[in-house]
Every structure is written in structure tokens, then in C-alpha cells.
């Protein structure tokens, strides 16, 4: 039996969709037939990937916005709704790291990471949910991290933001299940993107050795998990955390 996931007629919003995992999610959803709206702070980066996106489908649009700016996000969602008329899927993917040992971490680095990764998810989800509630359906998939489950040295801000994403996801799942809205998180392990390319080679090698599947994942491996959570195949799954980490944490 072959299963083909079909998202024709669905509109998906992907935050941080100009790069890495978000770009891959955007491409995979476009390939499945969805219309994809990318929200990203980096419009220059989007310009560099626009043509490769266009090769898959012309059914996409781009909004430049900072996810941690509550007013701008509310305004962007309003403009989007007036143009698209609906949002079926929201993928909360935009995220940053500002690593450092807790004792030396500045208030600014703590707040920046919490603002983008967690508060950003709150701002956009709140605005999109209003429309999903009216439509009595919707899927919200948020990209957490294995670090939000196990913690990490030098990543207190990041770990706390990602654990917050998981708790927020479960609360949305409980609050809106009766309205036909499913909320799940995907927790990636170690994925090859600009976020992780910065690490020294010996650190990358040590991380690889700690992964039972002995491999650093490609962004598509996360995108495929998101595709599953957007599809009818996952219609009875809500409030869950799907670990896509090669066995790093079980």
C-alpha cells in the first residue's frame, strides 16, 4: 500500500521559513500541494531562496516580520487573513540561540531567546487561533528541541524556551481540542543547518557519537515529521512531542 500525503486546498503559515528547517518544511508542504505563507525577519535571505521555492510551486507568499513584535504579528495575521481568508496550519519554527554559561549570561541574551522562541510562538498562535476557532479546525505544529527535554550546558535560555514551547503546546491542545484544533510539538535532535554549522568540528563529532543512529539529520527529516502532523494520518494525535533525534533521547 502506498500512502501519499495530499494537502491541496490547505493554507500553511511557516515562521522562520527562509532558512534551514523552516525552508525545508515550506518546500515539503508546497510539494504536498499546500499554499505556504512564510513569515521571517530576514527578507534578504528569503530573496536568495525564492527561486528554488518557485521551482516547486508558485503558491507561496512572504511577509517580513519580527516574531517577537506582538503588534506587528497581530497586524501581519490580519493582513494575511484578509488576503488568504483562512489559515489551516501554523508551523512555529522561528528560533535563535545565544549560548553561554548561566553565570555569565546577560539579561539581554536570556530575554532575546525567550522572546523569539517562546513569546513569538505565543503572539502568532494567539492571533491565528482566533481564526481556527471560528473555522472549528486547525493544526498547530511547533518546533521544540531535544534540549527542551534534557537541558544542556551553556543553553539555559534556549532549553527553557524550548521546554516552554512543549508546555504551551500541551495547554493549547487541551484548551482547543473540543474546537477541532490539534497542537503538537516536534523535538529535533541535531540537524545540519546554519544554526549548527557554527559549532567546531570536534564538538560536532562528539555530538554525532552520542547519537545512537550515528548521524546528524538533514532538515528534510524534520520536515517529513511536520508533514505527517499536518495530515489526516495524525488526526488522533494531539498534545504530543514527536522526537526526531536519532535516539539521542528516548
Catalytic residue among 158, 176, 236, 249: 158
Our CB check for ligand NAI shows the closer of 94 and 129 to be: 94
What minimum distance in Å lies between the beta carbon of 29 and ligand NAI? Answer: 15
CA distance 23 to 18: 5
CA distance 248 to 93: 21
Our CB check for ligand NAI shows the closer of 13 and 21 to be: 21
Our CB check for ligand NAI shows the closer of 22 and 246 to be: 22
- Reply yes or no on whether 158 is catalytic: yes
Can you say whether residue 128 is alpha, beta or left, with left for phi > 0 and alpha for psi between -120 and 50 degrees? alpha
What minimum distance in Å lies between the beta carbon of 199 and ligand NAI? Answer: 9
Binding site for ligand NAI (CB under 6 A): 15-16, 18-22, 40-42, 45, 66-68, 93-96, 116, 143, 145, 188, 190-191, 193-196
What minimum distance in Å lies between the beta carbon of 14 and ligand NAI? Answer: 10
Our CB check for ligand NAI shows the closer of 20 and 138 to be: 20
Question: At CA 66, angle to CA 18 and CA 153, rounded to 5?
Answer: 80
Our CB check for ligand NAI shows the closer of 173 and 185 to be: 185
What minimum distance in Å lies between the beta carbon of 145 and ligand NAI? Answer: 4
Burial class (CB in 10 A: 0-12, 13-18, 19+), 73: buried
What minimum distance in Å lies between the beta carbon of 95 and ligand NAI? Answer: 2
CA distance 2 to 55: 25
Catalytic residues, by residue number, are 158
Amino acid at each position: 500500500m502506498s500512502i501519499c500525503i495530499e494537502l491541496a486546498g490547505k493554507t500553511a503559515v511557516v515562521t522562520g521559513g527562509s532558512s534551514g528547517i523552516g525552508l525545508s518544511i515550506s518546500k515539503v508542504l508546497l510539494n504536498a500541494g499546500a499554499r505556504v505563507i512564510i513569515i521571517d525577519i530576514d527578507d534578504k535571505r528569503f530573496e536568495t531562496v525564492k527561486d528554488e521555492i518557485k521551482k516547486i510551486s508558485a503558491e507561496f507568499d512572504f511577509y517580513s516580520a519580527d516574531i517577537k513584535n506582538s503588534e506587528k504579528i497581530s497586524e501581519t495575521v490580519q493582513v494575511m487573513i484578509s488576503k488568504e481568508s483562512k489559515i489551516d496550519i501554523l508551523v512555529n519554527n522561528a528560533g535563535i540561540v545565544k549560548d553561554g554559561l548561566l553565570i555569565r549570561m546577560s539579561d539581554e541574551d536570556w530575554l532575546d531567546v525567550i522572546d523569539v522562541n517562546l513569546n513569538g510562538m505565543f503572539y502568532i498562535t494567539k492571533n491565528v487561533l482566533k481564526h481556527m476557532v471560528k473555522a472549528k479546525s486547525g493544526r498547530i505544529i511547533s518546533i521544540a528541541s531535544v534540549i527542551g527535554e534534557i537541558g544542556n550546558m551553556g543553553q539555559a535560555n534556549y532549553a527553557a524556551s524550548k521546554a516552554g514551547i512543549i508546555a504551551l503546546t500541551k495547554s493549547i491542545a487541551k484548551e482547543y481540542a473540543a474546537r477541532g484544533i490539534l497542537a503538537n510539538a516536534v523535538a529535533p535532535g541535531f540537524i545540519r543547518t546554519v544554526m549548527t554549522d557554527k559549532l567546531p568540528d570536534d564538538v560536532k563529532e562528539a555530538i554525532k557519537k552520542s547519537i545512537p543512529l550515528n548521524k546528524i539529520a538533514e532538515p528534510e527529516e524534520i520536515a517529513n515529521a511536520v508533514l505527517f502532523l499536518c495530515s489526516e494520518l495524525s488526526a488522533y494525535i494531539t498534545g504530543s512531542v514527536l522526537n526526531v533525534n536519532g535516539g539521542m533521547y528516548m
